[in-house]
Amino acid sequence: MNDQPNELWQWTAADLALAIRQKRVSSREAVESCFARIDAVNPRVNALVSVQRDDAMRAAEAADRALASGEATGVLHGVPVTTKVNVDQKGLPTTNGVVAFAGNVAPSDSPVVRNLRNAGAILIGRSNAPAFSLRWYTDNDLHGRTLNPWRADRTPGGSSGGAAVAVALGMCAIGHGTDGGGSIRYPAFCTGTVGLRPSWGRIPSFNETVPVERPLSMQLVVVQGAITRSVEDARVALTAMSAGDARDPWWVPAPLEWPPAHAPLRVAVCIDPAEVGVHPAVEAQILAASKMLEEAGYLVETAAPPDVGAAAAAWNEFVQGEGILTAGSHVARYGDSDAKRAFELMAQRTPRNDTAAHIRVAASRATYLRKWQAFMERYPLVLCPVAMEPALPYGVDTESAGSVERLFRSHTFLLATSLIGLPSISVPCGTADGVPVGVQIVGPRFREDLVLAAAQCIEECVGRIVPTEPVFQRT
């Protein structure tokens, strides 16, 4: 470890895990450092909605005893991690940010939580999410609003905004998140962290607290993943989370390690193929990142993957269209006022398809994925925006039909890549207007290794830009 910070809460998960294995620090010390950090900054940003101090300290002490006795250790042995409130953790409520679900206590761990425990992670707290995890803002009547530590008037992203802010400020080394329309990558983009959306089928998913199966669009689009402060930690988190679980019939036993790719790899640089408009700062970072990759030995060319705008529109018809039928009544009955308003405005721009049209748009997912896979035979990697604008002002999704249209235009690439289920990562590159700006790298199915390697090249050029303190005073 070179130039390692003194405070353990500042360390990466990989460095912490190594130091704990080598008995240079203890898990107890790492967890205590994170708790002290939580006490110092969480009241200012409201990223974590509960902290499991007693359970975490017992688990840390058990991890240290296991290491002392020579037991085998996992890749995250002794490392502090948080979990999102929309995933089951045994004995704790899966609130999903909804007041009516405050007592929805999970009888078992979800697969991703079980995998984290099996990898040795110490689960220290629960991160905030919007009601029903359906907004790109993190606010709800049960837990309150999570603030972006860069600018309080800008969104920290959603729905994994609590996880991103907790990671950015050092409350944990890794924050678990979920992504069905950018909910890992967008919060990472907004907070200057790294957000990896794995391939669909890579990490198993299931919540026993949900009484019925999720709608088909949710099964085919939503994935589990992590937000971290480094690309290396994204790789470690993926390793820890991706073990199989019989409760998820969609899980795929694909390898994490592949034979070395034939170099040099081609990268398609694509800025605004759907012509929705791009902020100059976003465009500038894409161009800067393309030069970084070119200098690292990649063949960088300007090329547009197929049907980006159409795939984003299909996401809306498939996911939001199905959501109107399956979730609309629950949002109306249990949602807070902002959740209802956001859902209403999103629904207004969603076509009301009949059964035949819904079947067609669901089937089109295969068409778009097929076209992208053909494109990726020449260009295995795509460098593109995460969002077309830097972190948006608070409340854009509840203001008007026009503001929601702005939101969806900005999220064109997030929605298109979510629909087709390819691995993609948001990696920070700089700042603009007081908030971070990053880029997105998309790769072929189950080739997270290629995505991570390219992101590592960018990180090595840029460095890590997460703040160590919130830059505002909470009023």
Active site residues: 84, 159, 183
Fill in the amino acid letter for 376: M
Cα(414)–Cα(405) distance, rounded to whole angstroms? Answer: 15
Q: Which residues lie below 8 Å from residue 282, measured CB to CB, with a gap of 6+?
A: 271, 385, 387, 388, 389, 390, 437
Cα(357)–Cα(353) distance, rounded to whole angstroms? Answer: 5
162 C-beta neighbours (distance < 10 Å), count: 35
Q: In the structure, how many helices (H) and strands (E) does the chain have? A: 18, 11
Counting every residue written for the chain, the total comes to: 475
Asked if 166 and 125 touch (Cβ cutoff 8 Å), the reply is yes
Cα(131)–Cα(333) distance, rounded to whole angstroms? Answer: 12
Asked if 95 and 48 touch (Cβ cutoff 8 Å), the reply is no
Per the DSSP assignment, residues forming a β-bridge with 447 are none
**What Å distances lie between residue 192 and 170, 228, 322, 429, 431, CA to CA?**
13, 10, 32, 8, 8
Report which of 455, 459, 438 is spatially closest to residue 186, judged by C-alpha positions. 438
